[in-house]
Copies of this chain bind each other. A is one copy, B any other.
Amino acid sequence: MTDVAGQNVGFIGLGLMGKPMARNLMRAGAITTVHNRSQGVVKELVAEGMHAGGSPAGTAVAAQTVIMMLSDTPAVEGVMRGDDGVLAGMQPGTLVIDMGTTKVPVTRALAAEVEAKGGVYVDAPVSGGTIGAEGGTLTIMAGGAYEAFQRAEPYLQILGGRITHVGPVGTGQVAKAANQVIVGLNIGAVAEALALAKRAGADPARVREALKGGFADSRILEVHGQRMIDHAFTPGAKATTQRKDMDQAIELAAELGLVMPATALSRDLYDKLIESGGADLDHAALIKAIDPDA
Interface residues of A (CB under 8 A from B): 104, 127-128, 139, 141, 143, 161-162, 164-168, 170-171, 174-175, 177-179, 181-186, 188-190, 192-197, 199-203, 206-207, 209-221, 223, 249, 252-253, 256-263, 265-266, 269, 290-291
Contacts and interface: CB of A to CB of B under 8 A. Distances in A.
Given A162-B213, A262-B265, A182 B178 contact: no
A258 B181 CA distance: 24
A87 to B, nearest CB: 24
A164 B190 CA distance: 18
A203 B162 contact: no
A186 B218 contact: yes
A276 to B, nearest CB: 15
Contacts of A252: 196, 200
A185 B192 contact: yes
Given A162-B213, A219-B217, A252-B200, A258 B195 contact: yes
Copies of this chain, whole number: 2
A216 B129 CA distance: 13
A127 B216 contact: yes
B207 A174 contact: yes
B212 A182 contact: no
A158 B107 CA distance: 55
Contacts of A192: 181, 185, 260-263
B216 A291 contact: no
Contacts of A257: 199
